[in-house]
Each structure stands twice: as C-alpha cells, then as structure tokens.
C-alpha cells in the first residue's frame, strides 16, 4: 500500500498540528506525526509547514459560460444595472461560438484551480434553442473531473415565460444532463408569472429528481418576495436542504417585521442562501442617491438563525461585473465587511462561508476531513485563520483524490529593509 504522509497540518486552523495519511486517493488516517510515521515507515512525506489546511473552496454560484465577455463591444454597460446587462447579453449571445465559450471557460477554471477551488456550481444560460453553451459545459464537466466537481444549473437567463418557450428549454436541458433546476422569477413580466415559474421549476425538479437553485429577488425592490414562494414550495414538497436561493438582495430592503417572520419559515425549509458580495454591491443601489444600499442579503441574521449561507463569485469579467478572478478569499473579505461580521470570533470562524457551506448547498457528500473520504484539501499561506482572512492568503497547495493538482510558491518579500 502506497501512503503519503502530509505532516504539520493545521486542520481548519486548529492550535495542534496533525499528520494526514493518504492512500489510494482517500484519507486513511489522521493523527500525531510520530504515531503515523511509526505506523507507515515507508510513506512518502510532505511538510505542510504549520499552515492552515482546509477542505477545498466551493464556489456555489458562477456563470462559466459568460466569463471574459465584458470587453465585447455589445457588452459595454453605462448604467451598471442588472437589467441592462441582461439586455446586452440577449443581443449578443447568439454570436458566441462553442470554441470561444470553451476557451474562455477553461481560462476561468484554471484561475479557480489556482485559488484552491475544487467544487463549482455553474449556471448555464439555456434560453438558447441551440444549447451552445450547455453542450460545451457538459463536455467540460466530464473533462475536468480530475480537477473539480462541476454542477450545471439549467438557468433560463431570460425567464421561463418572459422568453417564449423558456420553460421547455429548461426541461430539455435537464434531459440533456443538467444537474440543477434554475430560474429567475424577478425577471418575469408579472408577480404571477414569477410564482408560476417557481412552481414549474419545482415540478421539473420532482420529475427529474434534481436540486433547485433560483436567482431570487436580485433587486433593491422591497416588494420582490419570491423567496417566500421558493421557501414555501421547498417546505411543502419536503425538499429541505435541496433548494438554494441565490442573491436575495431585496432582503436587505425588507422591513424587519417581514424579515423576522421569514427567518422562521426559512429554518423550516432549511433553505440554502448564496450571496455574491462583489457583484451585488456593484449592481445594486443603482437607483439610490444617498443613503445608498449595500445590495446584499441579511447574511448576519441568516447565519445567526443557523441557516446555511455561502459566498460565491458569480462573475468573472462579464456584462454583469467587470472584475472577478475566482478567488473566494476575496469574496470572503468583501462579504464579511458588507455584512458587519468583523469580530475576531466571526473572522476566525469564517472560512466555512467559502468552503463547507458552499459544499453543503451543492449537496456534496464525501467532503471534509473524515477517514475514508476522498483526499481533497487545500493549504493556505497562513498559520491561523484570522491572518488568512486578514491577508486574503494564497492557496499554496491543492490536493485532489490524493494527487497534487496545484502548487504555488508562497509570497516572499526579497528586499532587505534597514531596520
Ligand atoms: Fe448569477
């Protein structure tokens, strides 16, 4: 039996150092270095240097079919609003070739891997009768399995009903192999159509045994309340833990009485929440003068109520957001600031927003430090979680199924200062 011993690992930032024995792509044993060295004398050894070791980053919300399209002439945006970006995308998407989508997505995936991401849920626009992007993403999902687990959301960017036949395209995408039912109820023409689209999504999820993840209330309009429909249907259909509400920006504008009522309902439905800090603080608040809203959901209250919240990238240089590089430590930094979650304890306990919580939303089994699980983990260039967050520490090693898939030199200043 071939064993690799990873020594001096600070698992999830713990004070004590641990050794990890890996064999056949799986975690074999965790323990003290001297014990495991004795048990596995022939093991290959790697010193992790007392750095923080955590489960891989999980990006539960991105659009890999949109990446690096921000600079296309038709995507120049002047208002910085969500709805202008959707219109710009609609005008140009038919011109994008499969080759262009593939090469851009691969460039983004390489960036994600370099930042320790191994789990990705990508929404793919299926309001395209040719399914150009979906076919590419289905191919990449298989091709990239050694590097990351990809979930594909059948996402009708232009709506189930606002786009004629959108509902049928979502169903066809699920038949082709998409893993998750998507939707965008706040983009439909009417409140009634939005609710109808959510109902249709749940019908399809039941018919094809899929997870659900809706773009939900991505607006500052405090009357946008599709989250209650998603929550109710999750509860009625007994789909606790299998449904996610992405964005829920309007929750930042709800009155406290309504938000308080909904917290208890969310708990009953075990609804997962995905928040995209940089994108939504850029896109929202665009109709405000001052005071100007932050554009993100009630992360602190959701978290205090025990609900599962993760931070995600959403965009890498697309019509919705010009920046983005797949580094979830950056999202964590923004998310904590925008959510007022900055106590030492909150910061020291925050890696879960970009690791465990995202994996839980994706219903990933076989995740985390447990003997028998796939040996998937990353090493951060920091010896405690607080400093990792403070410095937005780099991922210096990413191991998947026991194999090193990415290694990076730790940052080192070469200048000699005179003091
Ligand atoms: Fe999105």
pLDDT value, residue 96: 87
Residue 91 confidence (pLDDT) above 80: no
At 59-75, the pLDDT tens digits run 999 999 999 998 776 66
- Tell me, yes or no, if the pTM score tops 0.85: yes
User: Which of the following is catalytic: 218, 279, 411, 416?
Assistant: 218
Q: What residues pair up with 44 in beta bridges, in sequence order?
A: 4
Distance 61 CA to ligand 1 centre (A): 6
Residue 212 confidence (pLDDT) above 70: yes
Distance 265 CA to ligand 1 centre (A): 24
The Cα–Cα gap between 83 and 320 comes to 9
Contact 59, 358 (CB under 8 A): yes
pLDDT value, residue 72: 73
Q: Kindly indicate the confidence band of residue 77, based on its pLDDT and cuts at 50, 70 and 90.
A: low
Task: Please state the rounded mean pLDDT for residues 285-294.
Answer: 94
pLDDT value, residue 75: 60
Distance 361 CA to ligand 1 centre (A): 15
pLDDT value, residue 78: 67
Q: Is 218 a catalytic residue?
A: yes
Residue 113 confidence (pLDDT) above 70: yes
Task: Please state the rounded mean pLDDT for residues 100-126.
Answer: 98
At 340-396, the pLDDT tens digits run 999 999 999 999 999 999 999 999 999 999 999 999 999 999 999 999 999 999 999
Task: Please state the rounded mean pLDDT for residues 40-51.
Answer: 97
Around ion ligand 1, residues with a beta carbon closer than 5 Å are 314
Distance 216 CA to ligand 1 centre (A): 10
Distance 374 CA to ligand 1 centre (A): 29
Task: Please state the rounded mean pLDDT for residues 193-218.
Answer: 98
Residue 273 confidence (pLDDT) above 80: yes
Residue 47's SS3 state is strand
Give the strand pairing for 149-155 and 180-181.
Answer: parallel
The whole-chain average pLDDT of the chain stands at: 96
Q: How far apart are the first and last CA of the chain?
A: 52
Residue 76 confidence (pLDDT) above 70: no
Q: What is the 3-state secondary structure (H, E, C) of 51-116?
A: CEEECCEEEEEECCCCCCCCCCHHHCCCCCCHHHHHHHHHHHHHHCCHHHHHHHHHHHHHHHHHCC
Q: Where are the beta strands (DSSP E) in 109-193?
A: 117-125, 149-155, 180-181
Using alpha carbons, list the distances in angstroms from residue 213 to 121, 233, 283: 10, 13, 20
Q: What residues pair up with 23 in beta bridges, in sequence order?
A: 3, 26
Distance 197 CA to ligand 1 centre (A): 17
Distance 357 CA to ligand 1 centre (A): 18
Distance 63 CA to ligand 1 centre (A): 6
Task: Please state the rounded mean pLDDT for residues 78-102.
Answer: 84
Among 248, 109, 138, CA closest to 185: 248
With 0-12 / 13-18 / 19 or more C-beta atoms within 10 angstroms meaning exposed / middle / buried, residue 118 is buried
């Amino acid at each position: 039996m071939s064993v690799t011993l990873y020594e001096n690992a600070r698992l999830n930032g713990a004070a004590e150092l641990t050794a990890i024995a890996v064999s056949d792509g799986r975690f074999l044993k965790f323990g003290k270095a001297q014990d495991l060295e004795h048990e596995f004398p022939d093991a290959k050894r790697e010193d992790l240097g007392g750095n923080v070791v955590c489960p891989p980053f999980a990006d539960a919300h991105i659009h890999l079919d949109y990446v690096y399209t921000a600079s296309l002439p038709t995507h120049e945006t002047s208002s910085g609003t969500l709805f202008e970006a959707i219109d710009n995308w609609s005008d140009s998407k038919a011109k994008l070739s499969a080759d262009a989508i593939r090469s851009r997505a691969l460039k983004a995936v390489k960036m994600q891997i370099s930042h320790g991401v191994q789990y990705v849920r990508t929404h793919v626009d299926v309001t395209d009768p040719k399914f150009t992007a979906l076919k590419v993403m289905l191919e990449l999902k298989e091709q990239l399995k050694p590097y990351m687990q990809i979930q594909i959301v059948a996402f009708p960017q232009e709506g189930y009903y606002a786009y004629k036949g959108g509902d049928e395209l979502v169903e066809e995408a699920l038949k082709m192999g998409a893993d998750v039912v998507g939707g965008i109820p706040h983009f439909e023409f009417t409140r009634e159509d939005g609710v109808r689209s959510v109902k249709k999504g749940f019908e399809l999820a039941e018919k094809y045994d899929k997870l659900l993840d809706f773009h939900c209330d991505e607006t500052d309009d405090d009357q946008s309340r599709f989250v209650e429909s998603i929550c109710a249907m999750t509860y009625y259909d007994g789909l606790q833990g299998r449904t996610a509400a992405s964005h829920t920006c309007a929750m930042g504008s709800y009155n406290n009485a309504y938000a308080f009522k909904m917290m208890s309902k969310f708990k009953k439905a075990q609804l997962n929440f995905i928040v995209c800090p940089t994108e939504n603080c850029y896109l929202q608040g665009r109709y405000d003068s001052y005071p100007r809203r932050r554009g993100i959901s009630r992360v602190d209250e959701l978290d205090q109520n025990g609900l599962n919240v993760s931070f995600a990238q959403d965009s890498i240089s697309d019509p919705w957001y010009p920046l983005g590089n797949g580094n979830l430590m950056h999202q964590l930094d923004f998310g904590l600031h925008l959510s007022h979650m900055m106590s030492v304890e909150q910061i020291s306990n925050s890696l879960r927003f970009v690791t465990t919580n995202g994996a839980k939303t994706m219903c990933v089994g076989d995740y985390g430090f447990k003997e028998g699980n796939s040996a998937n983990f990353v090493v951060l260039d920091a010896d405690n979680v607080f400093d990792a967050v403070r410095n937005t520490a780099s991922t210096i090693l990413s191991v998947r199924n026991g194999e090193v898939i990415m290694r990076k030199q730790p940052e080192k200043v070469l200048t000699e200062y005179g003091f």
